[in-house]
Amino acid sequence: MEVILLETFDRLGKIGDVVKVKDGFARNFLIPQKKALRANETNKDYFARIKSDLLEKSKKAVDEANLVLKKIENKDIIFIRNASDNGQLYGSVSPKDISNYFAEQKVDIKPSSINLYTSIKKIGIYDINIKLHAEVTCNLKINVATSEENATKQKDELNKPKESKQSEKNELDKKTATPESEVIENKKESQQISPKNSDDKDDSTQIIKEDNDPQQ
């Protein structure tokens, strides 16, 4: 079915675009929610009359979304949770929890606007995406820890320069690596071990043959 969009949709189109969508999506969501109209001549004329109002309304919504964006971008979001020794949370951190967190900061963000790239069930730092408007999104990090001290440690580890992390890894490799002199010595000892005597092999074979001879 072809519809006229009354709102801007990510990966679908902008206000006024005529797009083709599945019948069920149009009948069950777009049209009942007044987010689109059937693309017929009557509705095209109607849209032409309300277009300026819709665009003004959309601009206002974008401006409001940008105001919210300024409040939350670059914000440290920390959740203190109880966890087992291996870091497994006794529960999880859900979009509802994050929405409630922002509500305490006097910022209204619906759980449906919050996208978790993975389930948050262990301590650590997680990336999330918040869709404030079809044209305004925000990427944030959620720091889930067992204490403020642990949260600070996780953040410092994340922000540590890659060069520093590589240096630490190299230092650890040096400590755990087998010394070259020891490798050479082991190689020499291996070379000094003489192969088993061929006569011994023959004797062994003979014994087996004798054992296998049928009894008289």
Task: Read off the pLDDT of residues 26-55 as tens digits, 9 standing for 90 and up.
Answer: 999 999 999 999 999 999 999 999 999 999
User: Using one digit for the tens of pLDDT, what is the confidence trace for 133-143?
Assistant: 999 999 999 99
Q: Please give the structure tokens belonging to residue 83.
A: 């966890």
pTM (whole model) above 0.75: no
Distance of CA 165 to the CA centre of its chain: 22
pLDDT at 212: 45
Average pLDDT score, the chain: 83
Tell me the pairing of strands 77-80 and 136-145.
parallel
pLDDT at 160: 80
- Among the four given CATH numbers 3.10.450.50, 3.10.430.100, 3.40.30.10, 3.20.20.70, the one describing domain 77-163: 3.10.430.100
Distance of CA 92 to the CA centre of its chain: 15
- Whether the CB-CB separation of 140 and 75 falls below 8 Å is answered with yes
| Distance of alpha carbon 16 from alpha carbon 37, whole angstroms | 10
pLDDT band at 14 (very low <50, low <70, confident <90, very high): very high
Strand (E) or helix (H) holding 88:
strand 88-93
Scan for tokens 């797009």, then name that residue: 19
Distance of CA 111 to the CA centre of its chain: 17
Question: Is the backbone of residue 22 left (phi > 0), alpha (psi -120 to 50) or beta?
Answer: beta
pLDDT at 167: 58
Classify burial at 155, counting beta carbons within 10 Å of its beta carbon; exposed 0-12, middle 13-18, buried 19 or more. middle
- Whether the CB-CB separation of 15 and 58 falls below 8 Å is answered with yes
Q: Is the pLDDT of residue 206 over 50?
A: no
CATH 3.10.430.100 intervals, the chain = 77-163
Amino acid code (one letter) for 97: D
CATH topology of domain 2-68: Ribosomal Protein L9; domain 1 (3.40.5)
Amino acid code (one letter) for 74: N
Of the ranges 10-14, 29-33, 161-165, the best mean pLDDT one: 29-33
Q: Please give the structure tokens belonging to residue 185.
A: 């010595």
Q: Is the pLDDT of residue 60 over 60?
A: yes
CATH 3.40.5.10 intervals, the chain = 2-68
pLDDT above 90 covers what percent of the chain?
A: 69
pLDDT band at 170 (very low <50, low <70, confident <90, very high): low
Q: How much helix, strand and coil, in percent to the nearest 5, is found in the chain? A: 50, 25, 25
pLDDT, mean of residues 83-97: 95
Per-residue burial over 86-101, b = 16 or more CB atoms within 10 Å of its CB, e = otherwise: eeebeeebebebbbeb
C-alpha pair distances (Å), 203 with each of 195, 197, 199, 206, 215:
16, 10, 6, 5, 21
Return the number of other C-beta atoms located less than 10 Å from residue 68's C-beta.
19
